[in-house]
Structure 1
Amino acid sequence: MNKVDVEWDLLTAEGVTRKERFTSDDPVSELDGPVLAKGCDQVCIDCEAKLVAGVKPTHSLANHLWIGELPWQLKDLTWAEKMMIAKVRHNRCVVRVASGRGKLVANAIMFATPIRKVYDTLPISRDELSEVLAFVFLGSAKPTDAEFVRTPMFVRRQRVKDALDWLKLNHRDYTALEISIANLNDLPEAGIPCGVDWKQTEEGESNLVPEAMSID
C-alpha cells in the first residue's frame, strides 16, 4: 500500500478503535494511525479510487466497522458458552441432539420473545437458564459424558469466566456488567448447564431429525 499515493489521514477516526486492556488499571485508549485490519498490505481498486479522490471509502473500517482482532478468550467457544456470555437475549431455544450409527446430529429451534432481555449480571442463574434453554437428547441409550463433550450444549466454566472478564475490560457494552461468582460456581466445571430430557429411540434408528431436514 506504500505505493499508493493517497492521504491516509482519511482512514484516521476517533472513537472507532480501542487498545486491548489486560487489567482494570489499564487506561482506555485508541489505536494510533489509520484504522486498518491487522496485516493489511493491499487496497482494492474501489477503495483506492475513493482515497485518491480524497474521499473516505464507504466500507472502510474507519466508518465504524472496526471490531479488532478476535482474542483467544472468545475463540472456539461452544454454542452454549456463547449463550452464557450474551448480554441481550431475544428468544428461547430448544436444542435437540440425535445419536445414531456412531454420529450425532443437532438442530436448534428458536422461539422469539416479544420483549428482549438485557442482562446486567452474567452468567445468568441455572434456574433462569432453564426458562430460556431446553436440551433434548434422542438415542437408544442414555447420553454419556463423551457424547456430551461433542454437543453444542457443552460448557466449560473457566472459558465462560475468561470470556466475561475480557468483555468487561474491553467491550463498552459490558463495562458496567456485574460478573456473578455465585452463578459461575454453580456451572459445571465441564458439562451441561441445564437439564437433559432423554428420549429413547430404537437401536439402529436413523439420527436424522425430520423437522431439521429440508423439503423440496
Structure 2
Amino acid sequence: LKCKQCIKKNAFIKVPLYSYANHCWIGEVPLVLQGLSWLEEQCIARARATRCVMKLQKGPKGQFASHGNVCIFPQEPSSLAYVLPPPINTLHDENAVVFVASAENPVTKETLDKPPLLVHQSRILAALDWLKENNPLYQSVEISHDILTHDYPEDGVPP
C-alpha cells in the first residue's frame, strides 16, 4: 500500500526532459572542459549551425556582461571539421560582439582583455587533447598546432 502523498507524487511522474532516460544526460563534465570561455568552446566545436551576435554592456561592478538578448541566427550546419581549432577568420565570420559604451564608460583595450572573449592556447589544446583521447567523435580530428600558435594569442583576445 502507498500513502496518499506517494500516490499523489507518482501520479504526475514524467521522465525529465534532460534526463538519461531521454538520452540527454551527458554525465559529469570533465575538469578540462569546465570553465572554457564562450570563444574557447567555439574553438573546439567540430560543427556550428549558428551565427551569433552578442551585446555586452558594462554592469554595476564595472565588468561587461551580456545584457538583454543574444541573437543567434540558424544557418545550414557546417560540415564536421577535421582540423581544429579553426582558422581565426572562420570565427570572425560566425560571431560578432557589440559593445555598448558611453562617455563615462568607454570601450578600451582593458575592456577587451576580460571574459567572455579571452582565449588561452593551453586551454584549447588541453580540451582538444582530452576530446581526442576520450570522445570517439574526435578521434579523427587533427589538432593544428600551427593554427593555434599563429592565429590565437597565448592568453588574450584573438586579433
| TM-score (ref. length: structure 1) | 0.55
1:193 aligns with 2:152: no
Whether the 8 Å contact between 2:48 and 2:77 is mirrored in structure 1 is: no
Alignment pair present for 1:83 and 2:48: no
Alpha-carbon contact 1:137-1:143 (below 8 Å) kept: no
Q: Report the equivalent of 2:4.
A: none
- Does the alignment pair 1:144 with 2:103? no
Higher relative contact order (CA 8 A, sep 6+): 2
**Cα offset, 1:72, TM superposition:** 1.5
Q: Using the TM superposition, give the Cα deviation of residue 116 of structure 1 relative to its aligned residue in structure 2, in angstroms.
A: 3.2
- 2:83 pairs, out of 92, 96, 121, with 121
**Partner letter of residue 40 of structure 2?**
E
CA contact (8 A) 1:156 1:188 kept: yes
Task: State the alpha-carbon separation in 1 of the partners of residues 143 and 43 from structure 2.
Answer: 11
Describe the shift of the 1:156–1:116 C-alpha distance in structure 2 as closer, same or farther (beyond 3 A). same
Q: In the alignment, which residue of structure 2 is the partner of 1:52?
A: none
Change (3 A) 1:130 1:176: same
Aligned Cα RMSD in Å? Answer: 2.7
C-alpha distance in structure 1 between counterparts of 2:45 and 2:19, whole Å? 27
Aligned residues: 137
* Unmatched runs of 5 consecutive residues or more in structure 1: 1-45, 47-58, 195-216
Q: Residue in 1 aligned with 2:133?
A: 169
Question: Of Structure 1 and Structure 2, which has the larger fraction of its residues in helix?
Answer: 2
1:166-193 deviation digits (Å, cap 9, x = unpaired)? 0000001000001111111120112222
Counterpart of 1:104 (choices 56, 64, 78) is 64
4+ residue segments displaced more than 6 Å: 62-66
Identity %: 37
Question: Unaligned stretches of 5+ in structure 2?
Answer: 1-9, 11-17
